[in-house]
Structure formats: C-alpha cells, structure tokens
Structure 1
Amino acid sequence: MNAHKTPHTSGPNGLAFGIDVGGSGIKGAPVDLATGEFAQERHRIPTPQPSTPQAVAEVIARLVDEYDLPAEVPIGVAFPAPLQHGVVRFIANLDASWTGVDLPALLHRETGRHVVAVNDADAAGIGEVRYGAARDADGVVLVATLGTGIGSAIVVEGHLLPNTELGHLEIDGHDAETKASDAARDREDLDWEQWAERLQRYFGVVEDLFSPDLIVVGGGVSKKHEHFLPRLHLRAPIVPAQLRNAAGIVGAASLAAEDARRTADAV
C-alpha cells in the first residue's frame, strides 16, 4: 500500500468515532483505524424533527455516550452539506438554521471531544481511498455516489479536494444529477442500457475535466454494478465501491484521527 494512504492509527487503541448524519437517521460507530472496520456494532437514532443544530448535536452526544470510549477518542462527522473549514455553507436535507453553523465547535461544546466535520460524499471518498476500492490507487481518484442525487469526491495522492459537488455540473442544458442519478433512473423507468448511456455522457464529461486515474462508483445501486458499469467506456478504470454504507462513517473517523494527530503534534 502506498505511504500516503497508510491508515492513521493514532489515539487510544487506534480508534476514532465516525458519524453519518442523514435526513432520517443519524448513525455512528467506533472505527478500528488499522482495518477500517467497525470496532463495535453501529447504532442509529432517528434524526430529530425539527432538525435544528442543537437538537442534532444532542442526538450525536447521546449516540457517542452509548459507547464506553476514552475521552481522547476523536469524532468525525459526515454531513449532508458543503462545509468550509467546518462551517455549513448551505443546507438542503436538514433545518435551514444550519447555514453558517460551525459544526465542530458546536459538537465540541456538546461532547468535549475533538471533532472534524466534512461533506458526506467527501467522507465516503476518503473511506474508499484509505480502506476500500481505491486503497492501492495512485494519482487522482474520483468517487461518485449514485443515489437521490450524485455525490462526488476527488482525492489526489491521498489528499481530499473538498466540496466538489460534481453532480451539479450542467451537461446538455441540465443539472447532471437530474438526468443521471439513480433517482432519475427510477423516476423515468430507464432500463440499464438507457441509464448507462446517461452515465457514459456524465462520466465522459467529468473525465475530460479531471483525468482521474480511477473512478469508484458507490451508492445503493452499486450492488447491481454488473448491469451498468461494463457498459461504460472510459479511459480510466471504473469499479464499484467496497465499503458501501459504511464508507462515510469510516472516512469521517479516519479524517478525525488524522486531524487530532496533527493538532497534537502542533502543540
């Protein structure tokens, strides 16, 4: 494995706690940073309604408290919005009052722990690069999640380029995810061949822009990858994700451990 993707095993027992915040549920588990596997079973708590910052922070604190973890174990949060240095830029899936919130600062006040927060697609991308389908890849890796929309992460030599939002590229006069997402496939009742034509157009444009060395495709539909990935003809290899629903939790935990170690080294 390449040195720049060696898993970070700092912290008590090589653990960090990963959390995936969604519109309907908040899931979390401690992650073994040596393997990228859950150290204990994942727990889920329904997302509070209304999903205000304080209400979500209290649920996250409850989730962490369900595990007996040393105080030094950091928290990584995969969050459904673009974040700039931990600050929510805008929000679609949760309460509108999230805009402008410093998520790590909020959760640090609530839990007393070191906290890192990243966009959920970025967290999944890091998970796949460090522990999954792109673990042995060099250069530029594009991880795309096909679901209600299209999430994206670009990782260059192990370093994340945050908040790429490539599902919102305008292609042929349309927001790309309105035509090429898995939701579009369902909505328009497309067969695999018809959907693959749209994916070919989408990934062809992205490939021309970024020239990735590897493309990883995630989202629930990746379980059926044999129906559509072989129909795509790109310069880069395109492979299914390996971590599936665990990717966000695992990637966020890994980023939290990395940041906690960097912060400790700077003291």
Structure 2
Amino acid sequence: MERIAIDVGGTHIKGGIIDAHLTLKDKVKIETPNNIDEKITDAVFELVARYIEKHQLTRPQIGISTAGVVDEEEGHIVYTGPTIPNFNGTNFKTLLSPLSDDVHVYNDVNAALLGELSLYDYDAQNIFCLTLGTGIGGAFYHRDTGLYNGARNRANEIGYLLYRPTDETTYELRGSVRALKQRMQAQHFEYDDDVIKLFELAIDERDLKAQEILNAWSEDVAEGIAQIQILYDPELILIGGGISSQGERLLRYISPKIAHYLPPEYGHARIQTMQTQNDAALYGAVAQFH
C-alpha cells in the first residue's frame, strides 16, 4: 500500500510516497507560501491531488506533519508562533476530506521522532527529540505510553523557553538554524548563510571566524538542552532537522557545552543526531497507520 506523506515547515513543504516496505519515492520540496498572498492549504491540497493522479491512488491514507501546536485527534492547528502567520485553526482533515477519509496529522517534531523510531531501534526507555530548523521544536516519547502531548497539546514547546527580556528573544530565536544564519550574515561570513560551508571551514583550525560563529551559536543550543535535561531527565536526546546531517561535526560543538548550564556533576543524557535526518517527519507522518 502506498501512502502520501507531507511535511509542512516554516521554509519548505516536502512530500513523498511511502510504500509498505518504507521506501520513500517521488520526493518533492517546494517553498512554503507566506500564507498571506498564497495559502499553505492550497499548496498542500494541490500537492496531494497531484500525487493521487500521478500514482493512480483511490482515497489513500495521508499523513501530515506540520509546524505548530497540533490537536492530533481533530487534525487542526491550535497555535503557531511568528514563524507561520494566519495558520491557527487550519484543519487538514477537513481540507483533505474530498481526497481521503483517512488523514493523520502530527506536530512536526512528533512526526520526526515517530519516523526515526519506525526505522531504527533504540534501547532507551524514554527519548527526547529536539529539532533545529526555522524554529526549535521538541517531542517526548516513552516506550510504554508513547508520545506525550500535554493537557492542551502544548507540551514540549521548548522553542519558547529561556525568554530574555533584554533583547526580547526566546530559545528558538537564538538557537535555531535561522538564528545561526542570521549570525553568519551579521558577521559577514564569506559564504553568506551557507551552513554546510560554515562547518567545513570550521574544521580548518585557521578559520577562526567560522569557529567563533559556531561556538557562540552552540552555547545557545546547549543552554536549552540543559533545560530539557532538568525537566525530562531522558535517557537519550536526539537532535534532528537538516543540520543533523553534520553528525559529529555538530555534536563536538554542542555536547561539551551542556555542562556549563547544569550544576556541577549533574550529568546529562546521551546526545545523538537522528539517523533519518531531514526525512524523519515524512516517515513519521504515516508511521501509525494500520
């Protein structure tokens, strides 16, 4: 059986077909409309309709991963911060009802964690997933009870942690990949906001500017991870988002700094990058269909 998977992010909308063998096919990526002049709902409906026609599917199962606070049972967006305007109240089950009777909708970080767990086996009883992208999101999973969403579906919204009144910034406004790119541009990095180039040059001990940018940014990332450790005490913290493809290059900057924001000898969970990297949410969007 082929299922349609859609991942709505602040920068891009991705889509793909995932078959019974968990093979991702016909992957596409488009820019996320600004949701003012052009609507996200129109782009998602058109993308799904195109998949249905191209692959000759009849009312297929559709999984939606989306940024924002999501009522996963009702399929609508409860709340979004400033990253996507006019998104509150969007209902993907209603939107796609002309095309399918079986639509699952997940917060994007929940979907990313479900996707990772559908493809890879971890021995940890409880896992926190932290995604670094346009914003910062979180998800918490316990092997016995599954995902924890909180009383109002607002659990794990860690991007809003660590508000600093002096510059009116939150954790995600300092530690996201968008924030990293802004640092690069503010410091006139030679390759503008090319994050891959930044990591490549930082390996070279002579490129002090690349190292300086990554050191400053990773301090902000590590500060938030310390809060996660205190609040959840997980066995494993997984870092996702496109930047997770940097693997050990990323962890070497973040992991040693976490202890800076914890009491002496407090300790913290294992820190790893996600193996599915930027496709995790697509897999997770369809992971719990039967």
Place the TM-score, normalised by the shorter chain, in its bin.
0.7 to 0.9
What residue in structure 2 maps to residue 5 of structure 1?
none
Q: CA deviation at 1:94?
A: 4.6
- 1:172 is displaced (CA, Å) by 5.9
Alignment of 1:31-70 (within 5 A): 31-34=18-21, 36-38=22-24, 40-45=25-30, 47=32, 50-52=37-39, 55-68=42-55, 70=57
- Identify the residue that residue 106 of structure 1 maps to in structure 2: 95
TM-score normalised by the chain length of structure 1: 0.77
Report the counterpart of residue 140 of structure 1 in structure 2.
Answer: 126
Give the Å deviation of 1:45: 4.9
Which moves more between the two structures, 140-149 or 24-33? 24-33
What does the per-residue CA deviation read over 1:27-50, in whole Å, with 9 as the maximum and x for residues that have no partner? 22121354x331x22134555563
Correspondence 1:115-264 to 2 at 5 A: 115-132=103-120, 135-157=121-143, 159-162=146-149, 163=154, 164-170=156-162, 174-189=169-184, 190-231=212-253, 232-233=255-256, 235-255=268-288, 257=289, 261=290
Q: In structure 1, what is the equivalent of residue 193 of structure 2?
A: none
Change in CA separation of 1:88 and 1:140 when aligned onto 2, cut-off 3 Å: same
Amino acid corresponding to residue 108 of structure 2 in structure 1: D
Gaps of 5+ in 1: 1-11, 262-267
1:21–1:184 distance in 2 versus 1, CA, 3 Å: closer
SS of aligned partner of 1:116: strand
Tell me the number of residue pairs that the alignment of Structure 1 and Structure 2 aligns: 238
Cα deviation, residue 102, structure 1:
2.6
Offset from partner CA, 1:115-156 (integer Å, 9 cap, x none)? 011111221121112214xx3233211111112221211111
Deviations for 1:213-253, whole angstroms, at most 9, x for unmatched residues? 11111122222232341341452110111112211111001
Distance 1:47 1:168, change over 3 A: closer
Which stretch of structure 1 is more off in the superposition, 100-109 or 48-57?
48-57
Q: Give the Cα separation in 1 of the matches to 2:148 and 2:68.
A: 15
Coordinate RMSD, CA, aligned: 2.6
> Using the alignment, how far apart are the partners of 2:31 and 2:106 within structure 1?
20
- Give the Cα–Cα distance (whole angstroms) in 1 for the partners of residues 135 and 30 of structure 2: 24
Would the aligned equivalents of 2:64 and 2:103 in 1 still touch at CA under 8 Å?
yes
Give, as a single letter, the amino acid of the residue that structure 2 aligns with 1:168: Y
Flag the structure with larger Rg.
2
Structure 2, unmatched stretches of 5+, are 185-211, 257-266
| Secondary structure at the counterpart of residue 97 of structure 2 | helix
Question: How far has the Cα of 1:70 moved from its partner?
Answer: 4.4
CA distance in 2, matches of 1:228, 1:46: 26
- Matched residues in 2 for 1:103 and 1:31: separation? 19
The sequence identity of aligned pairs, in percent, is 25
Say if 1:185 and 1:29 are closer, same or farther in 2 by CA, change over 3 A.
closer
CA contact (8 A) 2:32 2:40 kept: no
Name the stretch that deviates more: 76-85 or 195-204.
195-204
- Flag the 1:23–1:254 CA change in 2: closer, same or farther, 3 A: same
In 1: Cα distance, 2:6 partner to 2:219 partner: 35
Q: TM-score, normalised by structure 2?
A: 0.71
Shift of 1:191: 2.9
